Amino acid sequence: EVQLVESGGGLVQPGGSLRLSCAASGFTFNNYWIHWVRQAPGKGLVWVSRINSDGSSTDYADSVKGRFTISRDNAKNTLYLQMNSLRADDTAVYYCARDPFAMGTMGSWGQGTLVTVSS
């Protein structure tokens, strides 16, 4: 069974940093692209970033470019999102999602981790 478990969320002050993790199991992690998608409270889904299977290629939404960095450790079956210079509008539940086709489709999702940016 495909499992994705996010962790690392919490309360952080504006301008602060946080690193999210997404632990994968139940599939061959290094065969798949993985995405980060976020959802502000009561709002819709927003794609944040994606990384290809070997970590050599990444993409970001304009709203996080230069502040967030996606990475992966295929030996540990873990995805990361390093978030710097956090702002109040980064407050959201962050989901990691596996892309079954390497084409921008989010086929399996984790349960999400809440990031709150507030003073």
Partner 1 sequence: DIQMTQSPSSLSASVGDRVTITCRASQSISSFLNWYQQKPGKAPELLIYAASSLQSGVPSRFSGSGSGTGFTLTISSLHPEDFAVYYCQQSYSTPFTFGPGTKVDIK
Residue 7 C-beta: closest distance to partner 1, Å? 15
Nearer to partner 1, 75 or 101 (CB): 101
In the beta sheet, which residues pair with residue 80?
21, 71
Element (H, E) at 17: none
Residue 51 C-beta: closest distance to partner 1, Å? 12
Angle (CA) 62-73-37 rounded to 5° is: 35
Q: Which of 1, 41, 56, 62 binds partner 1 (CB under 8 A)?
A: 62
CB 46 within 8 A of CB 64: no
Residue 72 C-beta: closest distance to partner 1, Å? 18
The 27-56 contact track toward partner 1, x by CB under 8 A, reads --------x-x------xxxx--x------
Nearer to partner 1, 110 or 117 (CB): 110
The C-alpha atoms of residue 55 and residue 79 are separated, in whole angstroms, by: 10
Site for partner 1 in 87-116 (CB under 8 A): 95, 101, 103-112
Question: How many CB atoms lie under 10 A from the CB of residue 31?
Answer: 12
The C-alpha atoms of residue 81 and residue 4 are separated, in whole angstroms, by: 14
Residues that bind partner 1 (CB under 8 A): 35, 37, 44-47, 50, 59-62, 95, 101, 103-112
